[in-house]
Amino acid sequence: MSQALKRFNTTLDIVDGVVDLSHGSGGRASAQLIAQCFTQHFENPMLSAGNDFATFTTTAGRMVMATDCHVISPLFFPGGDIGSLAVHGTINDVCMSGATPWYLAAGFILEEGFPLRDLDQIAASMARAARKAGVTIVTGDTKVVEKGKGDGAFITTTGVGLIPPGIHISGELAQPGDVVIVSGSIGDHGVAIMSQRENLQFETPIVSDSAALHEMVASLLHSRASIHCLRDPTRGGLATTLNELAQQSQVGIKIHESQIPVKPGVAAACELLGLDPLYVANEGKLVCICAASDAKKVLDVIRAHPLGQEAEIIGSVVEDAHYFVHMETQFGGQRIVDWLAGEQLPRIC
């Protein structure tokens, strides 16, 4: 049995089973679907690495390819829309390898009857986001499905970029003794979507953190700090991202609840909605695992960027044969932070 299959207590019922919403959550069910269906058939060293990107060597250097599908509902939300989100999401997947993003391809699945006014607004938003990031949308495809066979608009974006010489960042490189840093408050995107979806009003409006992080990553690389892992904690939130990194690197991670930044409004909304902010999606944050000796340098670089002013050191990498993520609670207790099970918020990105 492969290492990927050993991670799960059960196997997918390929003969009689069906896809459910949990398979798109980014949590344990998603990981199982990828490991026991897609990886089983597509297996190759680049895919098996388990990152959100693939690296490959060309005569121009080490390049990166990443792709991301966007099925968010609603299409327009506080702080963005599906167009800018599709650009930011793929740019971030590319740059989490340390690469400079170059080009994007965009695929649209549109439902018959979808307003052209909305499509034009989405295209304009994508163009603004790409221009701001210095990335060009160079190719794409459009399909239209019959009315009732879609949900307005779905967008898939694929990005390519080039990794500077000497950079090697990947999810399997965390080492015991390393420090874990998050670039800002968590849960903003998921709560912004949920509040829009449920028409909830808060004293302080909650806005998505959707943003491209390539400039922050470029600053980190320029600092020459010893960075081992970068990942944007999107679906499944911070908790699932830390579990992914622990599994890939075959280490444990210990975090401290009191050091994890959560905006008061997001914390209150999560309490009202029965959500755990650790599992709520983010679209403009990164998790950085670096050598302890460079932790202050990395923190200073991230905080110097406009998108990273709330960055905090939230924990460290430890030896653990079970690859668990442990959290010291604000009351001094200990709890295991497991993978997301099920689906807290469907159609969130």
Tell me the percentage of the chain whose pLDDT exceeds 90: 80
- Distance in angstroms (rounded) separating the CA atoms of residues 158 and 90: 6
Residue 64 CA to its chain's centroid (Å): 16
Quote the crossing angle between the two packed helices 188-197 and 264-273, to the nearest 10°.
Answer: 50
Model pLDDT, residue 333: 94
Residue range 258-300, pLDDT digits in tens: 999 999 999 999 998 889 999 999 999 999 999 999 999 999 9
Check whether 315 has a pLDDT greater than 70: yes
Check whether 6 has a pLDDT greater than 70: no
Model pLDDT, residue 4: 47
Model pLDDT, residue 1: 44
**What is the mean predicted confidence (pLDDT) over 134-144?**
95
3-state SS assignment for residue 17 = coil
The backbone torsions φ and ψ at residue 153, rounded to the nearest 5 degrees and listed phi first, read -150, 135
Residue range 217-232, pLDDT digits in tens: 999 999 999 999 999 9
CB neighbours of 38 closer than 8 A, spacing ≥ 6? 47
Global confidence as pTM: 0.92
* DSSP H helical ranges for 113-263: 116-133, 188-197, 214-222, 237-249
Residues in the chain: 349
Contact 97, 53 (CB under 8 A): yes
Question: What does pLDDT average to over the chain?
Answer: 93
Residue range 76-96, pLDDT digits in tens: 999 999 999 999 999 999 999
Establish how many alpha carbons lie within 13 A of residue 132's alpha carbon, considering only the half-sphere containing its beta carbon: 13
Q: Which residue has the tokens 């089973």?
A: 17
Check whether 112 has a pLDDT greater than 50: yes
Element (H, E) at 335: strand 334-336
Residue 329: Cβ-neighbour burial (10 angstroms; 0-12, 13-18, 19+): exposed
Residue range 158-207, pLDDT digits in tens: 999 999 999 999 999 999 999 999 999 999 999 999 988 888 877 778 99
Model pLDDT, residue 7: 65
